[in-house]
Structure 1
Amino acid sequence: MSTVSSSPNASAPSRATLTRRAAIASVSSATVLLVLKAWAASATGSVAMLGSLADTGLDLLSSCVTLYAVWLAGQPADEDHRFGHGKAEAIAALMQTLVILGSAVAIGVRAAMEIGTRTPPQRADVGIGVSVVAVALTLCLVAYQRHVVRMTQSIAIVTDQVHYESDLLLNLAVIAAFALEAFAGLHGADAVFGIGIALYLAYGAITSARAALDMLMDREWPDEKRQTLLGVVARHPQVDGVHELRTRSSGVVDFIQFHIWLSPEMSVRCAHDIVDEIEADVATTFPGAEIMIHIDPLGHYDRPQVLRA
């Protein structure tokens, strides 16, 4: 088996520094917004702001848990974890989805109960002002995350970036709720937007849970990605066929194993050189992957092993 390191634009030490700074920026931004939105939710009594507050709290939790999970996933394989610690990210994601779903249900129930029975939120200026600050701060954070992603190709930061980009929509929804209640006189808009935010949180949680379960269950790669891999292997002129292809991902590491058919008359040295060439080609297309290639003489199929007492 061959393990090939990825080749991002930044060197290993600077890559670690950049990703750590991006994570710290994410945690810091979420902390500031959590304080501001807690004050705004208390001052306005807005369900939409409460939903935005819950999402920011989950952002902070997510950033902290992800930071630890990425650190753990990046630890090298050891005697007890021969395939590394990559699935720590998926376990952390599942834990977060339970918290997110619980918050979504609580916000949705409260908003539904208060439709048509509650007074409109107070201090619209506070709610709108805090939401505008949240939009500005989130835009700055996303811009910095994009810079770090260009330098490091970090999947963890990419995921965090996508999450914060979606927060922009939430903050705009809160602004719309306050504007409709305070200036258009559409009472109940705040509660309706609260329900919408709850549904959005639930959808995001379910989507994250599916991705995490796919990783924990060693789901095969999508067909398009598998076909790309097969195309790379098939380009080698002395490979007569590929079979027993198995793929999975664990954290940021891809695992690839397959059998190739070579001429039965080929020497061991020549077969070894061919495998090295194929590994190098695959590693170029899938940086950082762990690759295991088994050689079979042309036309040979492995027979299922029968275990006997």
Structure 2
Amino acid sequence: MPMEMGNVTNVQEFILEGFPAIQHLGKVLFLVHLLAYLASIVSNAVIVTITSADSRLHTPMYFSLSIFSSLECGIISAVISKLLIIFLLGRQTISFLACLIQAFVFLFLGAAGFLLIAVLSLDRYVAICKPLHYLTVMDLKTCFLLVTACFALAFPLITGLVVKVSQLSFCGPHVIPHFFCDLGPLIHLSCSDFRSVDMLAFVLTSFILLTSLIITIIAYSNIIVMIMRLPSAKEKQKAFSTCSSHLIVLSLMYGSCVFIYVKPKQRNRLVSNREAALVNTVVTPLLNLVIYTLRNKQVHRALRETMCRMKISRYKSHGPGVEGLENHLSSFWPM
């Protein structure tokens, strides 16, 4: 609702436009996005749980991966939860404060996530290209410091940007052409001079994205060179299969975010940003599910053994005998 302050009407509530062209399919879209949301949350929760429970996964890579999975849960929850309400109930309004909070959570976790991707890329580079030095270069303490640095760098940058946006005047219109409160569309609704804030947003997001992208490109370029030196064609094919799946997801993540944020003038492309944002918040988390769980043998093994232990424990209390259960399980999973 607007609130009168002198000659200026400050908008205290916005309307998220969502996807007006397909809004009549709200119930179907709600179900599709709900399934995608649940799949992403469950898969990331499994990664965090397994890496915490299995001592063999207490390594720098899986520590970083569990943090990254937690960030994914936070990002998709901050964005998709409101989209689900729009699809199901048609409630498109959001208060100014809630809008700023959603934008901050999305940008802070997103910025920390991209910096964390650079850390994961460096970890893979050291593990593959410098295997003899891996345990001395990338131990858990070093990894913890790098992860902490990602959050320590992202927090003041995003906080400063959101504070600057909160100081702008909004006197109408109040319809945000997006399905969540991203700062780009919000800034362009301001009736005050937003050019300096718009440029600040461009500089900060470009710095975070391009810094992470450059580090990732350098790391994976060295990894690909190392793969090319493998003597066996079978080893090359296996390594490229894993590496290519990572690169596909990274390309989607960086491509969509560069399309949205790394351009100084966004006004003419705000509508197309919605599709790119949907790829980044829905599609890539599901692809991460495939890469880090369904195609990860270590996580597979840890999950399989955890499920076996749970079933054995239950059979001890209620079942006909542990030996029979183990024979039954071994017919599905070689132990």
TM-score, length-scaled by structure 1 = 0.38
Max Rg structure: 1
Greater per-residue strand proportion = 1
Greater per-residue helix proportion = 2
